[in-house]
Structure 1
Amino acid sequence: MGHVCSKPEISTTQTEEKQESSRSPSDDNMNTSSDFDGFIFPFEGDSDEVDISAIEDDYPDPRAVTTDKKLQFPDGVKLFDNWDPNTTSDDAINEEVVELLPVTQAELDSHSKNTPGPALNRFEDLISYLEKPARGKESRDDIMIRAILVWLCNQEVDKFKAEEGTKNTPKGFLSLLGQKRSNYTKFFTVLCRQANIKCVHIHGVCKTGKYQPEKRNAKDMTSRWNAVYLRNSWHIIHPFWVCRAVYGKQRGGWTMLEKSGKSSVKRQIANPGMAKNDFDEYFIMPDPKQFIYQCHPDDLNWQLIPKPISRDRFLDQAYILPPFWALGLTLLTENSCLLKAAGNAVTITLQGPKATANELNMDYELLLKDKGTNQKDENEMLEQNKIPRLVAKIRNGSEWNFNIQFPVEGIYKIVIKGAPEKRSMQRLCEFQIKCTARTQNCRLTPFNPGLIGFGPGLTSERAGLLLPSHRNGLVTTDRNKPTKLSFLLDSEMSKSMEVKTELVDSDETVQSSLVVTTIEKKELKITTTLVKEGDYGLKILTGTRKSRSDDQITMAVVCNYFVTTSHKFTYEKTNKRLARQNLLSYIENAGFAEIEKIKDGIERCKKEKIPDTDSDIENAERKLQVLLFRKDIHDAYMRRHLITTEKTIESLHKSQYERIFTESIRHLEEFASQLNSLEGFTQQLPDILHAVGEFNHTHVTNDQVANTLCALSVLFGDKQKEIETVDDLQAISREAKHKIAIQKDTGSSLKPENAQRALDIIKKYSYEETMRKNAAAAQIHKWVTDVISKLENKRPDQQNV
């Protein structure tokens, strides 16, 4: 049994994983930048001396993409196996290509990288070499697109500067690129057309270069990209972003206020960075609905989406980067790159897929634009001892909420980063926030919650705290009103688990006397009562006691809650509020008797238009499932039925609640083994006892009833007896009932030779004939027949029991 710790001498540590690393072009994974501006998509500019048509006369008109693109992100947990859209392992290959190619993707890429030097003298020779792995294949054009891009990204264009610049040879075009007299888009267009692939080049603007949310000068954001025609649809390719990346670039004019929850004063120094070769998979046929967040064409038709958006809408919408889409995220709050605050806090909410959201970590950086506010206020705020913690990072199930407060007027920027567990953080999105009036009653976040943030997640789950009553890391309450939180515990870990809680106010003063923590029946219960208005942070720490005499236990924070009297629930109409309150009352201390009430309560909430994703409904559904499993376990013992028991065990193993029922599963498996050793004969004996008992006081007999009871008696080892009167029937019934009771308690002692004798008797009448005369006799008839079959085969056919 676990224990609740209250000893002050216990040491506490909060683990914070550093998941950041630098990115360099030589790394196996070249997309692990930790500096939010260390790797950005480069700005190519508009230099171009090559005159070729953007589109040819016989090309199909652009329209929304209707076919699936070749490169798709995997779904479910597989999303995290290769989550980074900019990375592909050497041995990975798209399933569609595997069926058509006798080579792996690694071999295809190696072929392109090892193009011989003489092939650069003529387009015909270059295309002929790159085409070798694709010849005769149905997906020839798809393969060629990749081959061309892999070849192009491996060309060091600066080495060709001294060559004659010309569009007539691959080497000459590389020279044009090195001399900045043309661009990758034009060269890719020429290469595709030389390979007989329809290709257009598109002009527009992009969110890179000198892009800032408040700037709208198109000249500073020009970009070119391509579309290729494959499988009856146009698909986007951005060859420059596929092949080149900028490292080490940093915009000046900003001061870091917070990084990963920690206060910081660090002025950003401008650095232009360095452009280097790269290979970015994402920009090979990206989803147009995602690509429109980064590039906007002058010709709206080339957006390739059902409802094209205007240039102004493009500039206004959120600045979202490819890893955001790779993680399957959705922006739930305002879709704008420039948010506004006037006396209020601002909340940004991202939602992940339910299947993988628990494995996702989020982090952030908060910056203030230099000279964007009153200098006196800014200087005072930036004093080391006065820098407030302005961002509360709160998890709510599959959602992450970033609540930001503003102590002075100015322009702020928040950069949100994320990654699956133990992966390097990447920029997901960033927002500028223009604050025209500081947040009223701006308060400190109670403490830095570290990487785990506020709210239960993977860390608490691994520590054995399961099925939290509150999935939302923000808990609102009233002063002097008890707030109850609970977790079901991993049944194995709870035996040695130690738990400690700390309540911290906004002055970082520990108020643990306001928290009561207990463990009852493998359930952790925490009750806190706030005696003053304000914001508090609740830390839950766990550790393992090696022995009962061990007083020094290393504890680690596994979950935090932000408990406050300041945030109030959004107003709900009376019907919704009552439905919610009833549901919550049903699930508190619920037992078997409340199962139907919980079901009805959930349905009532849904009828009142409370969404399925509501945390109270999700919590009730989990509570209901746990109760149903407990009832199944109870029924398995009561029925003593092997098949039922085995199905219950299988269901528990497959469920997300397996860790809660580890001990119950072990006991059930022992019980199933016992039932199996009894060859299944005891599984329905309680029912047979009842059926036989019906004849103890009967005053009616017939041949079918008499014959069935005679067969039952013989099966249990008696000699065959004549049943001529009601007294004979009652007597054999009493004897059979006694033998069945012994069989039920001691197990199987039935013999195959008795089964054969019983078979000769029972087959005189069929089950149907017996059923027409007496239902109880028919039940005995079926059981006797099943047992005889088992004994004859010497192997229980449990499906028939």
Structure 2
Amino acid sequence: MGSGKSKVKAKARPATPDYKQVPSILSEYPLPKVPESHRRDIVKPERLKRVSRTALMVPIDTMAESYDEFLNQLTRAALDDVEKVWSIYIWLGSMTSELVTNQGSTSTPMGYLRLVNGGKGDMTSFFTLLCRHCGIPCVMLHGVTRMESAGQIDATNVDDVKDKWAAVFLQGYWRFIHVTRARDPSVKVKNHFFLTEPDEFIFTCLPDIPEWQLLPKPLTAAEFLNQPFCSPEMLSNGIRIVNPKTGRIRSKSGKIFIEISSPRTIGQNLAVSFVLKGLKVTEVESCVDGFAGVKSNSGRDIYNRDEELEEEVGPSFTTEFPPLLDRYVYQTTKNNHVFFDIVLPVPGIYQFDVRGDLLDNVDDFADMPVMCQFKLISGNAPFPGQLDPLPIAPSLGWGPTPYLSKLGMKTISHKGGHIYMTPEDVSTIKFQTLDDYSFKVELHHDLVTRDHLEDHVNHDVVDGVLSVNVSAPEEGQYALLVYAKKEDGSYEDYENVCNYLVLCSRQASTETERYPKRVMRERLEQYTESGTHAELGAALEDFLLHNVEDRGEVDRANQKLHYFKLRKALLDTLKRRNLFVLKESILQARNSKFEAELQPEIQRAEDYLCRLQRLAGYLHPIDKLVPKVIFEIRRYRNPKPVIQDVLTAVYLMFEEPIEYLEQWGYIQVLLAQSGKDSLQKKIANFDPDDVSLESVKDAEDVLKPYDLRAVREASPGAAALYVWVQNICKEKRNPTPRDSVTKDSNNTRKSLDTFRKAIIPMENSHLKRMRREHLPNVVGRRA
């Protein structure tokens, strides 16, 4: 990573620039394109800290001097353009209106700040001026900014949230900077809007010109408006929404599944909670029509037209929403992923906020900031058996959470958030824990008092293992809560560290399916649509293990697994370079029901098959190159120049140093190699992609004085090698366009089989003798 001075020269600054009218872009600036490098590739955080200290120490009265004098002071610690831009960015973020004075003329930084205070200028234009004075290309982009939540922008108020931001040209690419957002007191992560990655910036800002999204596939305005709201804090910490990809989700069944993920370092210290609010109750019929179009969340329909949200203004205080809506959400955490299984009890419009913060910052879960927000629309009420609310809505969610790790605890037995049992069962949940903690456990039920449940739960700690024994007096849903405190703490110091949903029933699983089984069903549907092979395999295993009723999900999952198998076979054969296995994989894919989905892989495999067939065709002259011929060539003490040059060209294809190949003794040692290093094996396994164009040019120069007739007169064996090298050079220089895959490759197969059967290992003793005789004589290139 270089120091990164921008190579593009900025437009020469006029002698008297017009500071009131800053052009958005200059004509000589490069066009926008998708950056191939990332912020982490050009930013050195430890350097930025040092630059920040210097920039923030610049005296206020320096702003009353000229732009050049002020910027020299501001960027004096910067080593490259990235650090110069950071100096300007961090300095602007610290400026307040109280620091503006009447010193200096209008053509000074202080003069422009007075324009800003008077409403005749803005910080983005000021930032652009400062960057251009430093010779750094900078443009101003106009568009829409989402400031607070998913519901803020719709077709009626887009004009009210018009905004502008900047992009600077650093190390060959344009990069985003939003000075206004960085100055917003509500934004805690100021550096998020410094060189923000395009795929993160698009959650906040949509430029008027699509090319300035700097994305491979720019979003439409509708797609932008349908995104979930994601806070800068969430994006800067690498937390992402796995499912769904839209912020407005409609479900015909009233069931919705949401999943977010975080990096391991963040996930181990991340507290997550949620709030479900009812905004408006609707009639069942009114929610059925008009919501078709975009698909998300395992095939559910979502909003596709902004006019469908005309009535979604302000929360509704109707009593038709049941109380305690949070008890219709089942939250679990696993492998740095947080899952929300939601049941919307009545048809209507809801708002779902996912809140989160680092555990060290959390005093009250209710005060955690919103990380992301969704609008949920239910067209129908769920089935009666799915309407039972949970016994409680714990802030931690259900199952093991990062809070356990913070206390030095981890689960030994139950890794999920639920426990299945019958009234006769006793389940034991085990935790590994530290010796200096005390614990208490509680069992809760909607209709049974806690006193009546005391006899059904107990715990003990033996050798650092906490064992919690639980049973249920009758069928139903129970909540098992585990609390911990330091041994020397008071009773009020007990903190909730883990919770389990206990499902007790004698009925068949088809009649008692509750939240955990619905999680499994939804997850299997989700991964059948968009998961990886490993994710789908694990989801199917869970589904079958817990006896979830099969409503066609298993067959669809198995078909998708077969698709993964076919795709993997195609990709694996590309690595194996086996003509016949490759043809078989292509035929299987062609004859499968997934031919359309596998078309990119089939196309690639057929292209590769054509290439292998051409390479196999190049082996036809090599059929006559039996080991006896190689042995005879190797025995030459003073070969004809044409023979040595042909062998030099051959080994240049294998990237042998041309300086060594000038010595016949070195070539003899190479010819004496056996096994995978033998000449026959190297030719059989040769891939033109492995040879550089420089080596191809050297080989062409070596063979330029000769034609095939001259080489054949010197040695038929060398002639076969000559033809092979010429074919490879042609293949490398001018790759043959894709031709149709032939139905019959018997001739190719025959030539390849004949060649491979001719491979005979050389005698090890003879190899050793040749190396002793010739390898010490290898010298460098002659002067």
TM-score (norm 1): 0.51
Structure 1 position 185 matched with structure 2 position 128: no
Give the deviation of 1:516 after TM superposition.
Answer: 6.6
SS, match of residue 224 in structure 2 = helix
Give the deviation of 1:198 after TM superposition.
Answer: 0.6
Q: What is the aligned partner in structure 2 of residue 350 from structure 1?
A: 260
Give the deviation of 1:318 after TM superposition.
Answer: 1.2
SS, match of residue 223 in structure 2 = helix
Structure 1 position 108 matched with structure 2 position 54: yes
CA distance in 1, matches of 2:256, 2:468: 30
CA distance in 2, matches of 1:218, 1:164: 39
Structural mapping, 1:127-276, within 5 Å: 127-134=71-78, 137=79, 139=80, 141-157=81-97, 168-208=107-147, 212=151, 215-216=154-155, 217-245=157-185
CA distance in 2, matches of 1:558, 1:279: 29
Residue 456 of structure 1: which of 397, 400, 410 is its match?
A: 400
Given that 1:454 and 1:561 are in contact with CA atoms closer than 8 Å, whether structure 2 keeps it comes out as yes
SS, match of residue 145 in structure 1 = helix
- Which has the larger helix fraction? 2
Give the deviation of 1:508 after TM superposition.
Answer: 6.0
Q: What is the aligned partner in structure 2 of residue 466 from structure 1?
A: 410
SS, match of residue 431 in structure 1 = strand
Structure 1 position 299 matched with structure 2 position 198: no
Given that 1:62 and 1:301 are in contact with CA atoms closer than 8 Å, whether structure 2 keeps it comes out as yes
Gap change, CA 1:327 and 1:128, over 3 Å in 2: closer
Structural mapping, 1:436-451, within 5 Å: 436-441=379-384, 442-450=387-395
Deviation string for 1:646-697 (max 9, x for gaps)? xxxxxxxxxxxxxxxxxxxxxxxxxxxxxxxxxxxxxxxxxxxxxxxxxxxx
Give the deviation of 1:70 after TM superposition.
Answer: 5.3
CA distance in 2, matches of 1:132, 1:378: 58
Q: What is the aligned partner in structure 2 of residue 590 from structure 1?
A: none
RMSD, aligned α-carbons: 4.6
Given that 1:353 and 1:398 are in contact with CA atoms closer than 8 Å, whether structure 2 keeps it comes out as yes
Structure 1 position 558 matched with structure 2 position 458: no
Given that 1:161 and 1:176 are in contact with CA atoms closer than 8 Å, whether structure 2 keeps it comes out as no
CA distance in 1, matches of 2:545, 2:27: 66
Deviation string for 1:96-125 (max 9, x for gaps)? 558xxxxx234323334x2424x4353233
Q: Which amino acid aligns with 1:200?
A: V
Structural mapping, 1:423-502, within 5 Å: 423-424=361-362, 425-441=368-384, 442-450=387-395, 452-461=396-405, 465-475=409-419, 477=420, 479-480=422-423, 482=425, 484-490=427-433, 493=435, 500-502=440-442
State the identity as a percent.
22
Structure 1 position 62 matched with structure 2 position 7: no
Q: What is the aligned partner in structure 1 of residue 68 from structure 2?
A: 124
CA distance in 2, matches of 1:376, 1:50: 43
Q: Which amino acid aligns with 1:443?
A: D
Q: Which amino acid aligns with 1:54?
A: S
Residue 318 of structure 1: which of 224, 228, 252 is its match?
A: 228
Gap change, CA 1:395 and 1:54, over 3 Å in 2: same
Q: What is the aligned partner in structure 2 of residue 421 from structure 1?
A: 359
Structure 1 gap ranges (5+): 1-47, 74-92, 99-103, 248-277, 585-606, 612-801
Structure 1 position 337 matched with structure 2 position 281: no
Given that 2:328 and 2:344 are in contact with CA atoms closer than 8 Å, whether structure 1 keeps it comes out as yes
Given that 1:157 and 1:178 are in contact with CA atoms closer than 8 Å, whether structure 2 keeps it comes out as yes
Given that 1:150 and 1:279 are in contact with CA atoms closer than 8 Å, whether structure 2 keeps it comes out as no
Q: What is the aligned partner in structure 1 of residue 45 from structure 2?
A: 94
SS, match of residue 223 in structure 1 = strand
Q: Which amino acid aligns with 1:562?
A: L
Structural mapping, 1:784-795, within 5 Å: none
Q: Which amino acid aligns with 2:249?
A: L
Given that 1:544 and 1:553 are in contact with CA atoms closer than 8 Å, whether structure 2 keeps it comes out as no
Give the deviation of 1:414 after TM superposition.
Answer: 2.5
SS, match of residue 362 in structure 1 = strand
SS, match of residue 141 in structure 2 = strand
Structural mapping, 1:581-600, within 5 Å: none
Given that 2:19 and 2:112 are in contact with CA atoms closer than 8 Å, whether structure 1 keeps it comes out as no
Structural mapping, 1:316-715, within 5 Å: 316-369=226-279, 378-380=317-319, 389-424=327-362, 425-441=368-384, 442-450=387-395, 452-461=396-405, 465-475=409-419, 477=420, 479-480=422-423, 482=425, 484-490=427-433, 493=435, 500-507=440-447, 509-510=449-450, 511-515=453-457, 523-526=465-468, 528-530=470-472, 532-542=474-484, 556-564=495-503, 565=512, 566-567=514-515, 568=517, 570=520
Gap change, CA 1:411 and 1:377, over 3 Å in 2: closer
Q: Which amino acid aligns with 2:93?
A: C
Q: Which amino acid aligns with 1:237?
A: I
Instruction: Indicate the larger mover: 509-518 or 389-398.
Output: 509-518
Q: Which amino acid aligns with 1:394?
A: T
CA distance in 2, matches of 1:222, 1:559: 45
CA distance in 1, matches of 2:215, 2:330: 36
Given that 2:125 and 2:140 are in contact with CA atoms closer than 8 Å, whether structure 1 keeps it comes out as yes
SS, match of residue 271 in structure 2 = strand
Deviation string for 1:493-547 (max 9, x for gaps)? 2xx876553321233633344457566776555554556554321112456779x
Deviation string for 1:546-597 (max 9, x for gaps)? 9xxx99998654311123352326468999899779999xxxxxxxxxxxxx
CA distance in 1, matches of 2:335, 2:48: 37
CA distance in 2, matches of 1:423, 1:459: 13
Given that 2:327 and 2:390 are in contact with CA atoms closer than 8 Å, whether structure 1 keeps it comes out as yes
Gap change, CA 1:406 and 1:467, over 3 Å in 2: closer
Structure 1 position 285 matched with structure 2 position 195: yes
Deviation string for 1:130-157 (max 9, x for gaps)? 23333xx3x1x22221222233233334
SS, match of residue 110 in structure 2 = helix
Give the deviation of 1:437 after TM superposition.
Answer: 3.7
Q: Which amino acid aligns with 2:163?
A: S
SS, match of residue 39 in structure 2 = coil
CA distance in 1, matches of 2:100, 2:490: 71
Q: Select the structure with the greater relative contact order (CA < 8 A; seq sep ≥ 6).
A: 1
CA distance in 1, matches of 2:98, 2:320: 47
**Length, aligned pairs only:** 475
Give the deviation of 1:291 after TM superposition.
Answer: 0.8
Gap change, CA 1:147 and 1:238, over 3 Å in 2: same
Given that 1:323 and 1:428 are in contact with CA atoms closer than 8 Å, whether structure 2 keeps it comes out as yes
Give the deviation of 1:439 after TM superposition.
Answer: 4.7
Q: Which amino acid aligns with 1:59?
A: Y
Give the deviation of 1:283 after TM superposition.
Answer: 0.7
TM-score (norm 2): 0.52
Deviation string for 1:636-655 (max 9, x for gaps)? xxxxxxxxxxxxxxxxxxxx
Structure 2 gap ranges (5+): 1-17, 285-313, 363-367, 504-511, 529-535, 547-560, 566-783
Given that 1:576 and 1:608 are in contact with CA atoms closer than 8 Å, whether structure 2 keeps it comes out as no
Given that 1:346 and 1:405 are in contact with CA atoms closer than 8 Å, whether structure 2 keeps it comes out as yes
Q: Which amino acid aligns with 1:181?
A: K
